[in-house]
């Protein structure tokens, strides 16, 4: 079943005051030896009732592709959770893209998160490979053109602007931000039916982004991506990669405890919970939890947020 259909079905049945719809994200392990441990973790989290779970795509060789493809097949058919696979254009000629899509279709998976992807390590700028695609928009078009309506297609939304357009001052220019919204609408018009956002820590920025999307005619669900802070090192790494704005109050809370893992984790749970509560109070009833393959913080946030677990 498509993620968009599960979300709409759940929300239609729960009403304005009903339970939120939530989902979990995991990343593909680097080694085959780590696959079973991750499947066990996913199995434990699935008992909490996510609408779907998604798995990131790890760029590399065909053998690397196969780790992701084996994982999502087992998630769908052994763990028994509706599964979404990320797919990027990075180092991916069309035949390799279709190899992945054909494989997950044969496994009964109906959900893809279509992304451009990041430049390979050591490469400063994304350059498409010969017979490949240069953008997430191209990938969305290809999936729709070749596979029709079989797949539900999700795309990424960037409440602060894509990292590529965020300036040295930490913000995207008004022009770049408007261009980002227009580009996102083109992806939706090309066949994407769901948006999951990049992580953020300023909830007002996310709510403004949703309103701005509606103003330009984007009507599909926009699901907030929530990253409970589990470690200070992980937080610093991800906010640097994503060029995420860190509110002053978050920096002030983390600085004195950054070397205390337990204190950081507890603060991350508190912050994640408060963000989720504010989002749900705004009328948005969907949450996407970035687990980073960790169980405790993801479950702790949902246990405190009303009507989730």
| pLDDT tens, position by position, 123-178 | 656 677 778 888 999 999 999 999 999 999 999 999 999 998 999 899 999 999 99
User: Rounded to two decimals, what is the model's pTM?
Assistant: 0.94
Identify whether the C-beta of residue 3 lies closer than 8 Å to the C-beta of residue 52.
yes
Would 62 be classed as within a structural domain? yes
What is the reported pLDDT for 17?
57
Would 129 be classed as within a structural domain? yes
Give the pairing of strands 194-197 and 83-88. Answer: unpaired
Residue-wise pLDDT for 207-262, tens only, equals 999 999 999 999 999 999 999 999 999 999 999 989 999 999 999 999 999 999 99
Would 179 be classed as within a structural domain? yes
What is the reported pLDDT for 115?
95
What is the reported pLDDT for 236?
94
Would 309 be classed as within a structural domain? no
Q: Tell me the CATH number at 182.
A: 3.20.20.220
Closest CA to 193 of 135, 143, 134: 143
Closest CA to 203 of 244, 237, 252: 244
Would you name the residues annotated as active-site residues? 25
The range of the structural domain enclosing residue 273 comes to 3-304
Residue-wise pLDDT for 32-59, tens only, equals 889 999 999 999 999 999 999 999 998 8
Would 265 be classed as within a structural domain? yes
Q: Residue 224: count other Cβ atoms within 10 Å of its Cβ.
A: 27
Would 258 be classed as within a structural domain? yes
Q: How many domains does the chain have?
A: 1
What is the reported pLDDT for 120?
63
CA 92, CA 68: separation in Å to the nearest integer?
14
């Amino acid at each position: 079943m498509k993620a968009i259909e599960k979300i709409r079905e759940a929300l239609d049945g729960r009403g304005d005051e009903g339970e939120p719809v939530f989902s979990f994200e995991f990343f593909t392990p680097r080694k085959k030896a780590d696959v079973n441990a991750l499947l066990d973790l996913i199995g434990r989290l699935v008992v909490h009732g996510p609408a779907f779970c998604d798995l990131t795509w790890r760029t590399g060789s065909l053998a690397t592709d196969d780790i992701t493809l084996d994982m999502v097949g087992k998630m769908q058919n052994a763990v028994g959770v509706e599964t979404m696979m990320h797919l990027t254009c990075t180092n991916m000629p069309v035949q390799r893209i279709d190899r992945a899509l054909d494989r997950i279709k044969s496994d009964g998976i109906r959900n893809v998160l279509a992304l451009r992807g990041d430049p390979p390590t050591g490469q400063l700028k994304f350059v498409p490979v010969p017979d490949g695609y240069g953008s997430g928009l191209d990938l969305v078009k290809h999936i729709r053109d070749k596979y029709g309506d079989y797949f539900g297609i999700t795309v990424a939304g960037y409440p602060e602007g894509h990292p590529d357009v965020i300036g040295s001052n930490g913000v995207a220019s008004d022009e770049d931000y408007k261009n980002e919204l227009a580009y996102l609408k083109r992806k939706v018009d090309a066949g994407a039916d769901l948006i999951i956002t990049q992580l953020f820590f300023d909830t007002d920025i996310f709510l403004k982004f949703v309103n701005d999307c509606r103003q330009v005619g984007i009507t599909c669900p926009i699901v907030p991506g929530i990253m409970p802070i589990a470690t200070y090192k992980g937080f610093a790494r991800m906010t640097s990669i994503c060029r995420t704005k860190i509110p002053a109050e978050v920096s002030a809370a983390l600085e004195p405890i950054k070397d205390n893992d337990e204190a950081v984790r507890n603060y991350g749970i508190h912050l994640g919970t408060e963000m989720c509560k504010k989002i749900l109070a705004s009328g948005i009833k969907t949450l996407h939890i970035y687990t980073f393959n960790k169980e405790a913080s993801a479950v702790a946030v949902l246990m405190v947020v009303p009507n989730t677990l």
